[in-house]
Amino acid sequence: MPPQLLPASAAAFAPRASSVNVVLGSRIEPWLTQTLKRINRVKRPLNSVPQHQRCLTETLSSPNAIWDLAALMLPKAPESELRQHDNPVAEALCNYQLVHIQAYIVHVDMVLRNEVAFKLTTDTIDALVEYHEDIHCVDAKANTYDWSEKDQQCKKLHDDFVQAINKFVFRTHVTALEGLEEDGIGELLGGKSDEVKNSIVALMKPLLPPAPRLVDVIRQAPLLPSSPVGPTMWSSQSQPTPPTSLPPVDPWRILPSSPSVTTTSQDSANTPVWSNLALSDTQLPSPTLAFNEPFPSAGYFYSTPLVTAPIPALPLPSTFTPQCGMGMGMRHGGFGWDRYPEYATMT
């Protein structure tokens, strides 16, 4: 990209130069020739590049060569002092004003960048600086909360705007010179005024409060489930319960799983559970639990409780108390599963 060359008169706070810097190419565009002929009251020869350069330089260097770039409608007072009116037109006339953005040409380049550069006039800069200090900054302070360095920040905001508006230079294509009129005055055409307004409004920065300070939040370490502190989040969760031991099983509840009578009696005699059974366990009343055991034949079907009452009529070889349980007979060998078919036949 070619370098951006500007004269010293385009610098911030620099006064207007007595002559405009104009650089033309070796070939003059037809539209420029027609424009210069239109604005000159006195016919001047425009047959060469130096003649065009001399005519354009004298025209733009005139003290009256002031261009109207745009017009901004700005409030006359801060927002808290604006008048309220039922008619919106009357309210706009009372509360707003038009600030004309005027500038003069400081540079014309038709060789490298084909652009023309405008710098704002002193009156326009003073009007914008006054508005920014008396209205924009006041509204910005009213619309933000208070903090210790609010006034200093607002002053810095205004100082930055003063520097930016004095450095402001608007660049556009050289075809803007088609809006040139007599005595060097002119007006931007082709919608370029909107670009000027947007650029100037962008220089009016809002007042930003400081960012909130970060506060270190001390978080309590999570407690383990075994912590002795009161109820925590672990208490709400369901804890797995350790496996509990099986309840003690009475010996008389252990029944054979095989329908064979001979095998059952042998397994019962060899089971160490019967040898560890105390005498006090056999003196308990017989339960009333019904037990259904399928047998191969109908004669061996058993569907009543094991022993519900003493059987005095049976010729038992061993003596036992009338209300004994089934475990007593099986321990002493008097009444076992191997002799059950004999008693079933007799009854």
User: Exposed, middle or buried by CB within 10 Å (0-12, 13-18, 19+), for 318?
Assistant: exposed
Task: Quote the pLDDT of residue 160.
Answer: 96
Joined together, the tokens standing for residue 162 give 């003063």
From start to end of the chain, where are the E strands?
Answer: 21-23, 67-75, 96-109, 115-120, 169-173, 186-187
Question: Among 344, 326, 324, 346, which Cα is nearest to 336's?
Answer: 326
pTM: 0.60
Quote the CA–CA distance of 100 and 191 in Å, as a whole number: 16
**Where are the chain's structural domains?**
8-202, 252-346
C-alpha 219: how far from chain center? 23
DSSP 26-47: SS--HHHHHHHHHH-SS-----
| Amino acid in position 81 | E
Whole-angstrom distance, CA of residue 118 vs CA of residue 68: 10
Intra-chain end-to-end CA distance of the chain, in Å: 125
Could you tell me the two tokens for 6?
Answer: 């500007």
Helical residues (DSSP H) of 116-249, grouped into ranges = 122-131, 137-142, 150-167, 192-202, 233-236
Q: What is the pLDDT of residue 342?
A: 60
Q: What is the mean pLDDT of each run of 10 residues along the chain (347 residues)?
A: 73 91 92 92 88 93 94 91 84 88 95 93 96 94 88 94 96 93 89 93 90 67 61 52 58 53 48 50 51 48 51 54 48 52 56
pLDDT the model gives residue 80? 87
Distance CA(100)–CA(116), nearest Å, equals: 20
| Model pLDDT, residue 228 | 56
**Interatomic CA distance for residues 289 and 255, integer angstroms:** 13
**What is the SS3 assignment for 302?**
strand
Contact 85, 94 (CB under 8 A): yes
Tokens 């047959």 correspond to 47
Distance between CA 184 and CA 171 in Å, rounded? Answer: 18
User: Torsions phi, psi of 12, nearest 5?
Assistant: -70, 140
